[in-house]
Structure 1
Amino acid sequence: MSNSLSSKLLNGNLVLRIAIGLVLGILLAFFNPEYAKDVGVLGQFFVRSLRAIAPILVFILVLSAIANKEVGSNSALKPVVVLYLLGTFLAALTAVILSFLFPTQLELVASPGNIAPPQGIGEILKTLVFNVVDNPFNALTSANFIGILAWAIGLGIPLRHAAQSTKTFLLDLSEAVSFVVKVVISLAPIGIFGLVADTIATNGPDAFLGYIHLLAVLLSAMAVVAFVLNPALVYWKIRRNPYPLVFTCLRESGITAFFTRSSAANIPVNMGLAERLGVRESIYSVSIPLGATINMAGAAITVTVLTLAAAYTQGLNPDFSTALLLSLVAAICACGASGVAGGSLLLIPLACSLFDIPADISAQVIGVGFIIGVIQDSAETALNSSTDVLFTTAVSIAEDNKEQADYVVEPSA
């Protein structure tokens, strides 16, 4: 009986169990708010577990995938990166259009204090370069995924010439880490139960009524990207109905990311989903952690909408050419957003500098972002993270279709 129960916990329908945890968390928050705050520790435990395993998982899987990769094989990373960057720019452009159609003015609040946003794009680029050459142990302990990827690739390339026993050991190690990840992910229903109960009990359902218009523009832009632009980009790659894949990624990756509010913490979830969707490990083991760093459509939307809202609040009416430049800047800034909750908000002053908006005003805009952050950041992370696995899978399907077509053509050539 106990074996049967544990099997259901580990191998049952994860989405159904998450939905049950979600409903139970909402009910507990409404009927017993004080106890709901106490069970928030379950959610914190789940998120900490994901964040703890994610750096090790990325390092081992990337190292193993590159070391065991056959010379001349195609990792298909280039088209994935193209989709990441194109999707982020189009998301920022979508936010500009909606902001022009439905301009928002903010009721500014006090600055949240202790905010140290980057001072310019040059600082972001310098930080990215320094992250590449970070100490490997520090990269692992601080979840610096750029540094982790750099060391995994740097060690993986020479290990391609290592003895077969070394490569086999790396494969066994990646399997062991993957098993630990499966155990952690099986705790998702309990973790989301705690996260939802604590969030609703702490903030209440009426906490965001004063910012409905701003949230409506933000969420509408994210919905357009999730249900129109992303499916269009996926169709461009796979040439068939993209929506079954889109809905699968939103359901199995987006829901978890919505409540963890961390692209980095959702990396193990995305890797597990990519494996179930039949994506080759040589692709997803690198593209998923890379996406958690540079595929930031939701962050680009947040930066763009809040920046234009700050401009309208200051009485500015930017023309479309300036807003188009803002789209490019927002896309670049979004790639520098950290993979943790609220990371995109600290980049708003960079975009505000395009309109000469004072630093104290942009800091207050960050304060507004923190107020709506429970909803905004959750939706942003859900879009960012689900798109990582969506684009990775689309490229994998396109590559498989190409190989099948070549197989059919070549015999008759």
Structure 2
Amino acid sequence: MKKLGLVPKLIIAIILGIIIGNIFPAPIVRIFVTFNSIFSNFLDFAIPFIIIGFVVAGIADLGQGAGKLLGITTAISYGSTLVAGFLAYIVSTNIFPLFIHTSNVLSKAANPEDKLLKAFFEVEIPPLMNVMTALILAFLLGLGISAIKGRTLYNAASEFQQIMEKTISRVIIPLLPIHILGIFANMAYAGEVARILSVFWKVFLIVIATHFVTILIQFSIASAVGKKSLPRMIKNQIPGYITAIGTQSSAATIPVNLKVAENNGVSQGIREFVIPLCATIHLSGSAITLTSCAIAVMMLNGIPFTLSQMFGFIAMLGITMVAAPGVPGGAVMAALGVIQSVLHFTDAQIALMIALYITQDSFGTACNISGDNAIAVIVDTIHKPVK
């Protein structure tokens, strides 16, 4: 099992959860529900620290760059992330209603206390601060460290980021399949899981299609700005795209992506600055996946949402996912605070969101790093190479 990737583990967990929920008696299911209760409370406790760990270091790192080049790259990356998120919003709100009907709505599953089984006992782990406090503190510290160039606080923020990376990679991610198993076992016991699965695969296909459209748009713009061949740029990107699917990590794909940028004719100074930076701050694929999955979960649970609410959600995603850990599912973990504070998801809804996101995480990463090379071409065209 250790050699299996996270996605296969999650698929196995979902299958086992459905089997357990349909076959085993309530006391067995409640064992997993009890684990879920403890794990969810721990996750609630950890979310503010995850936000502080990654946002502080991420914003502080942006202040260490090369002035105008940093500003141009950051602006294009954030703009690309926003556009991708709104494209996902348009696609989701127009296509999802075609297959998520009133009969699909999990009205009772939205409130676990109504129909889902309860834990044998609960362990309260109150967060030291709420999500909004953590966000404001992270922005304040990150901008402050960047402004005063404080090395002591910068080193502390970097080390705290490493602690949270270890917490995610060594604790949260390994336990996540058990958490998902428990959620699906509980929903299968409550008779709700069939509706979820009937929606999951359709959402998956639409998200992947939106990724491809986004990549095509990004490379079309880069081709027009940089006066380069669109088919050749897309062909050059294939090794980077496949590597990202295999590794599920933007950071691990940087060496391959640098070679792609070289093949696209991007100057050395630009590609060596833009590609590693965009691996951290350009998250168009993740924005598409998170926005689409959030809308699917809200529609499944009959939760109303507005354009202004989703605008705030997408705008915050582009900031909170900065320096998201280079592990599978890192972006959704970094975004949990926004999901909670803006969309007000319950623990069951967050678990569905995580399951939906991670099954598509590799494709989101591949979309992210493909867009990095489009940005590199654009920046190389409008900015003099760094010597």
TM-score (norm. length: structure 2): 0.57
Are 2:82 and 2:314, in contact at CA under 8 Å, matched by a contact in 1? Answer: yes
- Are 1:330 and 2:317 counterparts? yes
Match of 1:381 in 2: 365
Partner SS for 1:265:
helix
Partner of 1:79: 72
Task: Report the alpha carbon displacement of residue 399 of structure 1 after superposing the two structures with TM.
Answer: 4.7
What amino acid does structure 1 have at the position aligned with 2:365?
T
1:238 aligned residue: 226
Correspondence 1:222 to 2:236: no
The alpha-carbon distance between structure 1 residues 131 and 342, as it changes in their structure 2 partners (threshold 3 A), is: farther
CA 1:326/1:210 → structure 2, altered by over 3 Å: closer, same or farther?
A: closer
Aligned AA (2:84)? A
Question: CA offsets, 1:182-218, max 9 Å, x none?
Answer: xxxxxxxxxxxxxxxxxxxxxxxxxx88721121232
Q: Tell me the residue number matched to 2:131.
A: 119
What is the Cα deviation at residue 263 of structure 1?
Answer: 0.6
Give the match for residue 395 of structure 1.
379
The DSSP-based 3-state class of the residue aligned with 1:311 is: helix
Q: Distance in 2 between matches of 1:256 and 1:39?
A: 18
* Cα distance in structure 1, aligned partners of 2:353 and 2:318: 18
Give, in angstroms, the shift of residue 391 of structure 1: 1.3
Residue 91 of structure 1 is aligned with which of 84, 87, 96? 84
Counterpart Cα distance in 1 of 2:163 and 2:252: 10
Distance 1:295 1:225 in 2: 13
Correspondence list, 1:224-303, <5 A: 224-228=213-217, 230-235=218-223, 237-239=225-227, 241-249=229-237, 251-303=238-290
Q: Is the 8 A contact 2:105 2:301 kept in 1?
A: no
Distance 1:320 1:236, change over 3 A: farther
For 1:144 and 1:353, the matched residues in 2 are separated by 20
2:131 is aligned with what amino acid? Q
Change (3 A) 1:124 1:245: farther
1:334 deviation in Å? 3.3
1:253-301 deviation per Cα after TM superposition (whole angstroms, max 9, x unaligned): 1111110100111112222332343322222222112111110111111
Question: Judging changes above 3 Å, is the alpha-carbon distance between structure 1 residues 291 and 245 closer, same or farther for their aligned structure 2 residues?
Answer: same
> By how many angstroms is 1:338 displaced?
2.6
Measure how far apart 1:232 and its partner are.
Answer: 4.0
Q: Call closer, same or farther: CA 1:252–1:143 in 2, change over 3 Å.
A: farther
Shift of residue 304 of structure 1? 1.0
C-alpha spacing 1:127/1:336, structure 2 compared with 1 (3 Å): farther
Contact 1:106 1:309 in 2 (8 A): no
Selected match of 2:343 from 345, 351, 355:
355
Partner Cα distance (2:79, 2:337) in 1: 23
Is the 1:231–1:243 contact (alpha carbons within 8 Å) kept by the matching residues of 2?
no
Quote the residue 2:94 is aligned against.
Answer: 101
Normalized against structure 1, the TM-score is what? 0.53
What is the deviation of 1:131? 9.1
Paired residues in the alignment total 267
Q: Is the 8 A contact 1:307 1:348 kept in 2?
A: no
Q: Which amino acid aligns with 1:97?
A: I
Q: Which residue of 1 aligns with 2:293?
A: 306
Alpha-carbon spacing, 1:273–1:95, altered in 2? closer, same or farther (3 Å): same
- Mapped contact 2:313–2:338 kept (Cα < 8 A): no
1:123 CA drift (Å): 5.6
Structure 1 residues without counterparts, runs of 5 or longer: 1-36, 42-65, 67-72, 146-207, 402-413
**Separation in 1, partners of 2:230, 2:209:** 20
Give SS of 1:335's match: coil
Change (3 A) 1:363 1:91: same
Output the CA distance in 2 between the equivalents of 1:127 and 1:263: 25
Alpha carbons of 1:235 and 1:354: their partners in 2 closer, same or farther (altered >3 Å)? same
The runs of 5 or more residues in structure 2 that have no matched partner are 6-64, 117-122, 147-152, 166-196
State the shift of 1:75 in Å. 7.6
Identity %: 22
RMSD after superposition: 4.2
